């Protein structure tokens, strides 16, 4: 158990809908990262937050947004969902924002868009 | 658990043998690399990292080799055990300011009894 929790574990929704994925980092970690893992594109970095502020951006679509709250939990919002958004979404956390800080991954949320 | 990447390249090794997993990266400016292990139904787990100013780093039973000339990274696992069965990913950091990790497609390691 990495100490990172993600809810829900599974989510099934329809095209065009909007969903919110939630992540609680390890106790004491200030950085949160979101990743998408799909069969065709593999694991992709989406976005990083550090202590409530956006720190780095990867391949995140404009239909997707995230935020980190004062209690350091984070939410990833996915809107206007398409079939291709079906994937595993992982959250990770690290103690600080440096690239070399080890990231601890949660168990993931499996999103299925029908 | 659910499988990721059902059609990944697979490396099968006998228990007790050494394993070598390879990864080619594309950006010569990448300055930091990580190997991750992902077991079925779980998130990736950090194994070992290496900076671009090094060519070798050793951990417990694992060694990472970096060849910047040919942009190649390898992970060596000594005395492979059944618990090493998983998908292994390399990741390169392409961010000039902060993180922008790009992940390889992964290799499935299968340990035979």
Is A12 in the B-facing interface, judged by CB distances under 8 Å? no
Pairing outcome for strands A74-78 and A87-94: unpaired
- Say yes or no to pLDDT of B101 above 80: yes
Question: For all residues of chain B together, what is the average pLDDT?
Answer: 91
Q: What is the pLDDT of residues B55-80, one digit of tens each?
A: 999 999 999 999 999 999 999 999 99
Q: Residue A15's pLDDT is what?
A: 98
* A chain contacts of residue B93, beta-carbon cutoff 8 Å: 99
Size of the A and B interface in Cβ pairs below 8 Å: 63
Is A43 in the B-facing interface, judged by CB distances under 8 Å? yes
pLDDT level of residue B99 (50, 70, 90 thresholds): confident
* B chain contacts of residue A44, beta-carbon cutoff 8 Å: 103
pLDDT level of residue B2 (50, 70, 90 thresholds): very low
Is A25 in the B-facing interface, judged by CB distances under 8 Å? no
Look at A43 and B41 and tell me if their CB atoms are within 8 Å. no
pLDDT level of residue B94 (50, 70, 90 thresholds): confident
- Say yes or no to pLDDT of B53 above 80: yes
pLDDT level of residue B84 (50, 70, 90 thresholds): very high
Q: Residue B26's pLDDT is what?
A: 87
Listed by number, the residues of chain A in 62-101 with a beta carbon closer than 8 Å to a beta carbon of chain B are 88, 90, 92, 97, 99-100
Q: Residue B6's pLDDT is what?
A: 54
Q: Residue A97's pLDDT is what?
A: 86
Q: Residue A99's pLDDT is what?
A: 85
Residues in chain A: 114
* B chain contacts of residue A105, beta-carbon cutoff 8 Å: 42-45
Q: What is the pLDDT of residues A12-71, one digit of tens each?
A: 999 999 999 999 999 999 999 999 999 888 899 999 999 999 999 998 999 999 999 999
Q: Which residue of chain B is at minimal alpha-carbon distance from A98?
A: B98
Q: What are the DSSP calls for chain A, one per residue?
A: --S-EEE-SEEEE-TT--EEEEEEPPTT--EEEEEEEETTTEEEEEEEEETTEEEEE-S--TTEEEEE-TTS-EEEEE-S--GGG-EEEEEEEESSSSTTSPPEE---EEEEE-
User: A45, A88, A110: best mutation site toward chain B, by most B Cβ within 10 Å?
Assistant: A45
Q: Residue B1's pLDDT is what?
A: 36
User: B37, B43, B97: best mutation site toward chain A, by most A Cβ within 10 Å?
Assistant: B43
pLDDT level of residue B3 (50, 70, 90 thresholds): very low
Q: Residue B96's pLDDT is what?
A: 64
Look at B106 and A42 and tell me if their CB atoms are within 8 Å. yes
Look at B44 and A102 and tell me if their CB atoms are within 8 Å. no
């Amino acid at each position: 158990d990495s100490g990172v929790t993600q809810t829900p574990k599974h989510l099934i929704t329809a095209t065009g809908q909007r969903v919110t994925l939630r992540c609680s980092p390890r106790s004491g970690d200030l950085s949160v990262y979101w990743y998408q893992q799909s069969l065709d594109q593999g694991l992709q970095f989406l976005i990083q937050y550090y202590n409530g502020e956006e720190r780095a951006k990867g391949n995140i679509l404009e239909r997707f947004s995230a935020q980190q709250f004062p209690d350091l939990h984070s939410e990833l919002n996915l809107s206007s969902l398409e079939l291709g958004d079906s994937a595993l979404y992982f959250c990770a956390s690290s103690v600080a924002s440096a690239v070399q800080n080890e990231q601890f991954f949660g168990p993931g949320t499996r999103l299925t868009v029908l | 658990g659910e499988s990721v990447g059902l059609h990944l390249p697979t490396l099968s090794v006998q228990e007790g043998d050494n394993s070598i997993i390879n990864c080619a990266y594309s950006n010569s400016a990448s300055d930091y690399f990580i190997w991750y292990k992902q077991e079925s139904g779980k998130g990736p787990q950090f194994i070992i990292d290496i900076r671009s100013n090094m060519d070798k780093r050793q951990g417990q039973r694992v060694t990472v080799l970096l060849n910047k000339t040919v942009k190649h990274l390898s992970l060596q696992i000594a005395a492979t055990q059944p618990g090493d069965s998983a998908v292994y990913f390399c990741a390169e950091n392409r961010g000039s300011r902060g993180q922008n990790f790009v992940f390889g497609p992964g290799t499935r390691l299968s340990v035979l009894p």
